[in-house]
Structures are given as structure tokens and as C-alpha cells.
A = this chain, B = another copy of it.
Amino acid sequence: MQSEIVCIGTELLMGKVNTNVSYLSEKLASIGLNFTYETTVGDSSKDIAEILKQSFTRSGIIFVTGGLGPTFDDLTREVVAGVLEKKLIFNREAMQAVAAFFAKRDLEMPKKNEVQAQIVEGARIIPNEIGTAPGQIIELQGHPGFKAETIILLPGPQFEIELMMNKTVLPYLKEKYGRGITKLLVLHVSGIGESKVDEEIKDIVGVERRLEGGDLRFALVAHPGVVDIVIIGSGKNEMLIDSFMAKAKNELKEKLGNHIFGENDQALPQVVGQLLGKNKQTLALAESCTGGLLGKMITDASGSSLYFKGALVAYNNLIKRDVLGVSQATLDKYGAVSAECAREMAVNIRKLLKSNLGIAITGIAGPGGGTAEKPVGLVHIALSGDKLDQVFTQNFSGNRRGIREKAAMFALDSLRQALLG
């Protein structure tokens, strides 16, 4: 069954990066489907209609994202109904859901939002628990000239799409189309760069690995501080795919060892959190140039209150001295961006916030503030614990954002390595 996706929104043709295609294609792969085409079109009825006609003519499953909001430039409902020559029908269930969204927030529902209860004749509603725009599943049978048999309308914001996919759309598609199997395994690597990973594993991923009626493919994707190795197995025999993927994973683990910190949805902060929990350790942070980013990353994981005590963002140097207790002598002699200051910050934050372990980060994130001696990108990262005393000095490349992200990831990975012994 050929699938494709049509993304609607002028902003996607004017600079906004589209991440929905990436998200939805990975979800579809998990049930053996994949997009043959993706098309983006602006908020113009004529252009949307033209593209939808093409899509409905050539594909069986069509995802349509965006344009389900309540405003003047939200045209999807109307145009889809027009192309299918169906009516838009006011749906009481959808109306109640939209109204409940506002009621829950003690807000009056704007009159405008009533349009979101308009449903293409015969469509099922995809409940949207965290936004006002319900989705729709439209089933077609024998529409003259169209191959389309399932049309799925979703809103534009990814966090709304995620819940709707997991709760409603994926189970529906799996039930209806899930025959072949595609499995995705992502191994997360830290502590070494993309080129190095590529070099280490080229003999493993370079081998042609064809299964009976299926195959194994590999891809590398680089993020700040992390490289992902993506293994894609597809075919008909699930046991066979599983065993091939497991074999490839073992070979990669043998090659990369501890640099592989997790799989699939395991993020580095969570992995570190689990290690802290297992070792019954608590963590506190003293952040300077990262300004709260490391604390934000650690608390992205729910349940982090079990091991995370808190952080002091000592952005101002007097706070490093007066609240965190870094000695004036250290600040005078070495400066606030120094290995010595980082070490004192890491030791002292443990005392202040009563934690077993401390991480400190101090550096120059730029673009201003660099000197010949202490250039932009210079970051000192210290770890402190009863039996732990490490200071790393790094020169990170990139812009302000990249330097801050790399510094935070490096700190997390250093702590992980230390916890692993």
C-alpha cells in the first residue's frame, strides 16, 4: 500500500523547519509502512486542492498535516471535503471536545473555534487531548479516479500529533495494513565524533546483509554530543529480522563498548538518571555558561526528583564567591573560567545542596567574551564525589547554542563514564 504525506502551511515554505515528516515516517516504519512522497504546500485553497487530487490519485494512504486550526488560513477541512465532493458536517462529539478544552482551562470558547467541529461526512474523529483541533480519519471506497482509501487529517503541532498517532492512528493502521514488518533500532553513541564512529564501524555496516525477503540497512545521524547509529531491518519473518538485528547490535557493541549509552528512546539524561538511581546517588549542579541548560536536560526526564537535588546557576561571579563559596584567591589568580574554579564549584555545590555528587560547568559560550588566552568555546567541567575528583578542559566548536549543548552533553557523559567505573 503506497503512502504519502501532504504538509499544509505557508510557514513551511518560508523558513520553518518541518519535523513532522521525520516523526511520522519513523512511526509508520514501525508497522511496515513508509512514505513514497512528501509534499508541502502553502495556505492556498487552489494549490492544496491540486496537490490533494494528485495524492488521492496515486496513493492509498494519505496523511495531511496542518490547517485544522480555527483561523482564516486553516483551509484543510474545507478543501479536503471539496476535493472528495463530500459535505462538512457539524459533529457534536467534536464540538464537546473543543468546548471541554476551553472549559478545563476556565476560558470562554471563542466563537471562531466552532469551525473545528466541522467533520468531513462519514469521517471518524481522532481525539486531541492537548489541543483544540481534532483529527479525522476518512475512509474511501471506490471513489472514481482515486486510489486513496484512507485519508488521515492531523493538526500541525508535533506534540499534538504524537499523542494522536500513538493512541488512535497507529493502532488503526496496524489493524488495517500491518502485514510486512520494519523494525528500527537506534544505538546512541557519546564521547566520540561522527567520523570516528564511521571509521570504527564501517566493516560492520558495509557488509551487504540481505535476509530472505528482507534486508538490513544502516544510517548515521549526528546531534550535538551524540551520534545515532540507525539499524533498519525489514522483511516478513520477524524472528529472522530480530536475530539479524541482534547480531549487528552485538558487533557494534563489541566495537564501541561503553560509548554506546542507550537504545531507541533512551536519552543521555535518563540513562544517567537510572545510573544515579541504581547507585543510590544524588546529584547537584553548579552551572555558569550553560545558564540552567544542564538542569533543564536532567529534569526533562520525569521522576528526576528522585536523584536530582537542584542547581545553582552562578552566572554572576559574585554568586560564585558569596553563595557558592569559591575562594577570592582562586578567582583572582585563575579567573572564573578555570579548572580551579570549576573544581571548587563542583565540591561546594555538593555541600550547599547536600548531594553525593556534583557537576560544575564554567566557560565561554560566546559570541563575545573570548580572549587569545581563553577563547570562545573553552569550557571547564568538573565532577566531584566522595571518590570522584575530575576536571576536564575542552575547546568546543560551534555557535553559542552548540557550545552550550556540547558542554552539557559532555558533562553528562563524563558523569556516566565515572558512574560506570
Contact = CB atoms under 8 A, between A and B. Distances in A.
Contacts of A69: 194, 220, 222
Interface string A258-286: 00000000000000000000000000010
A12 B230 CA distance: 12
Contacts of A397: 101, 104-105, 130-131
A36 B25 contact: no
Stoichiometry, copies per complex: 2
Nearest to A195: B110
B293 A315 contact: no
A250 interface: no
B112 A195 contact: yes
Contacts of A43: 219
Interface residues of A, number: 112
Given A13-B36, A312-B313, A298 B291 contact: yes
B18 A21 contact: yes
A366 interface: yes
B34 A37 contact: no
Nearest to A7: B38
A390 interface: no
Contact of A21 (B12, B132, B205, B309): B12
Report which residue of A12, A232, A285 has the largest number of chain B beta carbons within 10 angstroms of its beta carbon: A12
Report which residue of A36, A232, A294, A366 has the largest number of chain B beta carbons within 10 angstroms of its beta carbon: A36
A184 B14 contact: yes
A243 interface: no
B308 A132 contact: no
Interface string A20-36: 01100110010000111
A323 B354 CA distance: 10
A180 interface: no
Interface in A301-358: 302-305, 308-316, 318-319, 322-323, 352-354
Contact of A315 (B162, B219, B304, B365): B304
A352 B366 contact: no
A26 B12 CA distance: 11
B25 A14 contact: yes
A110 B199 contact: yes
15 contacts: A9-B221, A10-B219, A11-B230, A18-B22, A36-B47, A38-B39, A43-B219, A112-B195, A285-B313, A291-B304, A292-B313, A302-B369, A308-B316, A311-B315, A313-B313
Interface of A: 9-19, 21-22, 25-26, 29, 34-43, 47, 51, 54, 69-73, 101, 104-106, 110-113, 130-132, 157, 159, 162-163, 184, 194-196, 198-199, 202, 205-206, 217-222, 230, 232, 285, 287, 289-300, 302-305, 308-316, 318-319, 322-323, 352-354, 365-369, 395, 397-402
Given A15-B219, A16-B221, A110-B196, 11 more contacts: A11-B221, A36-B41, A37-B40, A38-B40, A71-B194, A72-B202, A110-B198, A295-B313, A302-B366, A322-B354, A323-B352
9 shortest interchain CB distances as A-B pairs: A292-B295, A291-B299, A292-B292, A311-B313, A71-B198, A38-B40, A292-B296, A293-B296, A310-B315
